Amino acid sequence: MFGKIEHLGIAVRSLEEANKTYTQLLGCAPYKTESVESEAVDTSFFKTGENKIELLAASGEDSAIAKFIDKKGEGIHHIAFAVNDIHAELKRLEEEGFQILNKEPKRGADNKWVAFVHPRDSHGVLVELCQEIEE
Ligand code: ZN
23: pLDDT confidence band, cut at 50, 70 and 90?
Answer: very high
Could you tell me the distance, in angstroms and rounded to a whole number, from the CA of residue 78 to the centre of ligand 1? 7
* pLDDT at 37 (0 to 100): 87
Could you tell me the distance, in angstroms and rounded to a whole number, from the CA of residue 96 to the centre of ligand 1? 23
* pLDDT at 61 (0 to 100): 85
Give the pTM.
0.94
Where b means 16+ CB within 10 Å and e means fewer, 90-115 reads beebeeeeeebeeeebeebbbebbbb
Ligand 1 (ion): residues with CB under 5 Å are 9, 54, 80, 128
Q: What percent of the chain has pLDDT over 70?
A: 100
| Model confidence pLDDT, tens digit, residues 47-90 | 999 999 999 999 988 899 999 999 999 999 999 999 999 999 99
